[in-house]
């Protein structure tokens, strides 16, 4: 029986840069030279794996990238503001969340940058649901797919592993949740409308396991 459902935020509950060309558009806006494009990506990914989703402010990368890639950022540029300003609502998933909320506890399990969750909420991108638990990587000092964040989320949900359903758009995170004994659904941000439809069907086919 499913008692609690955790949703990922970026790429699932909201539309971020996943499966879009928005990252490339940002690099063009910033004037990243083609010779540095791949290295720019690698370095950003490196920082994301080592601090951005825990405690390091993403805007502290600006002077580092300025020197590393001989860049001149626009005046008052903020990575955080640029990213969130280009996020969008994913209203296709709102009915799914509301349906699940009728019978289960719902929560967010998300890797964020410092200040990002509050900025997303202030921008009005979130659905109008009442999350019982919010596990924000920057608040708990852990990030997916570290199994410790799943153990923490499990404890916060007050449910056993097999009683939790996790929806995320990243396979590594889904695989980690499976190892922890959770049920999972891999959300596809390429076509959120279709993925939300399939998710609603999936939730419905669980029948008594989720609605009893």
Question: How many percent of the chain have pLDDT more than 90?
Answer: 94
pLDDT digits (tens, 9 = 90+) for 154-202: 999 999 999 999 999 999 999 999 999 999 999 999 999 999 999 999 9
Distance between CA atoms of 115 and 23, rounded to whole angstroms? 20
DSSP of 63-86, one letter per residue? HHHHHHTT--PPTT--HHHHHHHT
Residue 38 pLDDT > 50: yes
Cα angle 90-143-120, degrees, rounded to a multiple of 5: 35
Distance between CA atoms of 32 and 70, rounded to whole angstroms? 9
pLDDT band (50, 70, 90) for residue 209 = very low
What domains does the chain contain, in order, with CATH numbers?
Answer: 4-16+88-211 (3.40.50.1000), 22-85 (no CATH)
């Amino acid at each position: 029986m499913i008692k609690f459902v955790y949703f990922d935020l970026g790429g699932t509950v909201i539309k971020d840069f996943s499966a879009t060309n928005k990252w490339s558009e940002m690099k063009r806006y910033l004037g990243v030279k083609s010779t540095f494009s791949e290295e720019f990506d690698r370095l950003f990914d490196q920082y994301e794996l080592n601090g951005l989703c825990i405690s390091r402010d993403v805007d502290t990368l600006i002077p580092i990238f300025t020197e590393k890639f001989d860049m001149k950022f626009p005046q008052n540029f903020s990575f955080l503001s640029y990213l969130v300003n280009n996020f969008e609502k994913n209203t296709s998933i709102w009915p799914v969340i509301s349906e699940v909320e009728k019978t289960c506890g719902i929560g967010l399990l998300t890797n964020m940058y410092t200040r990002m969750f509050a900025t997303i909420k202030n921008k009005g991108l979130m659905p109008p649901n009442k999350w019982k638990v919010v596990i924000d990587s920057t608040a708990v000092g852990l990030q997916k797919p570290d199994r410790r964040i799943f153990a923490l989320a499990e404890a916060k949900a007050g449910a056993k592993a097999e009683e939790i359903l996790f929806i995320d758009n990243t396979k590594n995170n889904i695989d980690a949740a499976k190892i922890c004994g959770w049920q999972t659904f891999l959300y596809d941000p390429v076509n959120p409308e279709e993925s939300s439809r399939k998710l609603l069907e999936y939730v419905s086919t669980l029948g008594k396991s989720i609605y009893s």
